[in-house]
Structure 1
Amino acid sequence: LSNHIISNLYDYVTGVEVGLGSNGRKNRGGHQMENLVESYLKKARVEYYKEMYLTEIEQKWNIDLSAISAEGTSTKRWDFVVKTPSSIYVIETNFYTSGGSKLNETARSYKMIAEEASQIPKFKFVWVTDGGGWTSARRNLEETFDVLETMYNITDMENGVFSSLFC
């Protein structure tokens, strides 16, 4: 403090000055993307639920989702669930500002979920993703795009995709 190396005592005490605040910012983009998607769900005026587990969906609407839960052995929480008279839509959202192995693994995982979900009647998997990080992982993203009809980005939402998808 006496040498003025630390410019803000509050930031130092809370850990920001020494690098401890990075984890607090870790998923800020993801939360912002969730908030953005939620705003477009509200504009589309659909019935939706936030952060719903696979088992809750099965119980609420009496649907068998064992095809995507490894026969009930894994638990999955969806960012959003939209219920329409004809289908149940589960939505995952994310935003990547930079590349890395996480994107490739996410794309592979969601490709598998898309393939499994396609076997369940009246059940749709929706993925909303965006960000410059996909530039380096575009091949994996394209592979998922080839099997997932309901994959969207921010521009798609701006153009009203939810209003047409959920009607």
Structure 2
Amino acid sequence: MKRNFNEWFASFTDSIATYEYYTDFNIVYKNIDKIKVELNIMNSLIGSKNIESDFDLLFNKYPEIRKCLPLLIAVREKELKVIDDGEKLKYNFTNIDDIELLKRFMRKTGLFDLISNHLVNNLVDYATGVEVGLGSNGRKNRGGHLMEDVLQGFIEKAGFIKNKNYFKEMYLKDIEEKWNIDLSALSNLGKVAKRFDYVVKTNNCIYAFETNFYSSNGSKLNETARSYKMLAEESKNIKGFAFVWITDGLGWQGAKNNLEETFDVMENIYNIKELEQDKLEEILK
């Protein structure tokens, strides 16, 4: 029986977030540990009345302090390019040894002022806060991984074993080589290096899964719906192969029309509630 899109959409969930989704302190602490020694060395400059000359002495003795400087302005990259009074400067914090250029960086970013005027009391604590803030930018990626974990749990509940009859993050070419199947219709004759989140092999079929969860709207959702619609249509003519899309999240509200277009032509599109109703076991039996 054909499903009703509005009823299906009404069963979407608003969140799959765990506590780690918001802030993963294990990653925060891991990143801080990499530069904790250098940050503690830099602590000796807090409250300095002669910050530039003290920085000279400190850098000459401990040049490795340079590697912790980008994080102090909330940047993870180790190489920065800056336009300064029309001059294009490049800072490589892995091996920079130009002390005058470094002091220019510290001065113009405001780090000298921050440290010398005692606006912070401990750079390890300060950097930990910066890491927490930067980590919030990774929530979108963590949300994607959470949805992958959700799907993986249901695949295993259905009785499949990782690296035996189900595989994570598998490219089209690897599927072709492993099971001697022609998927050139999906790769534009080998020109597209498509990777699926999961691939499940049963006695009768190879099931390639994509999964995602959108808690907020964005232009990517329309593009995703269109591309998966095309992928589903191209898959229909490949014997022994099926494309399955598991998606959810109220972010689809703003791209509902595009999602409905895909829903109308795609047989294997499901949400979390359907997985909870053992739909996956029904599909893969």
Taking structure 2 as the reference length, the TM-score comes to 0.54
Deviation of 1:22 (Å) = 3.8
Task: Tell me the distance in 2 between the aligned counterparts of 1:82 and 1:99.
Answer: 30
Q: Unaligned 5+ residue runs, structure 2? A: 1-113
For 1:41, what is the secondary structure of its paired residue? helix
Letter in 1 for 2:214: Y
Deviation of 1:10 (Å) = 4.0
Instruction: Kindly report which structure 2 residues correspond to 1:117-136, keeping only aligned pairs within 5 A, or say none.
Output: 117-136=235-254
Question: Aligned residue for 2:272?
Answer: 154
For 1:27, what is the secondary structure of its paired residue? helix
Task: Tell me the distance in 2 between the aligned counterparts of 1:63 and 1:52.
Answer: 14
Letter in 2 for 1:144: T
Question: Aligned residue for 1:55?
Answer: 173
Task: Tell me the distance in 2 between the aligned counterparts of 1:166 and 1:13.
Answer: 46
Question: Aligned residue for 2:142?
Answer: 28
Deviation of 1:71 (Å) = 0.8
Question: Aligned residue for 2:154?
Answer: 40
Q: Tell me the percent identity.
A: 57
Task: Tell me the distance in 1 between the aligned counterparts of 2:128 and 2:259.
Answer: 38
Instruction: Give yes or no for the alignment of 1:81 onto 2:207.
Output: no
Deviation of 1:3 (Å) = 4.6
Deviations 1:5-53 (A, max 9, x none): x9x5243453x34xx3344333111000000000000000122110001
Instruction: Give yes or no for the alignment of 1:115 onto 2:233.
Output: yes
Which structure: larger Rg?
2
How many equivalent pairs are there?
164
Deviation of 1:118 (Å) = 0.6
Task: Tell me the distance in 2 between the aligned counterparts of 1:21 and 1:70.
Answer: 37
Letter in 2 for 1:45: G
Greater percentage in helix: 2
Taking structure 1 as the reference length, the TM-score comes to 0.91
Task: Tell me the distance in 2 between the aligned counterparts of 1:132 and 1:94.
Answer: 12
Name the Cα RMSD after superposition: 2.0
For 1:86, what is the secondary structure of its paired residue? coil
Which of 111, 115, 126 matches 1:9? Answer: 126
Letter in 2 for 1:159: Q
For 2:238, what is the secondary structure of its paired residue? coil
Task: Tell me the distance in 1 between the aligned counterparts of 2:201 and 2:209.
Answer: 11
Task: Tell me the distance in 1 between the aligned counterparts of 2:166 and 2:235.
Answer: 19
Task: Tell me the distance in 2 between the aligned counterparts of 1:144 and 1:26.
Answer: 23
Task: Tell me the distance in 2 between the aligned counterparts of 1:147 and 1:24.
Answer: 33
Letter in 2 for 1:111: K
For 2:199, what is the secondary structure of its paired residue? strand
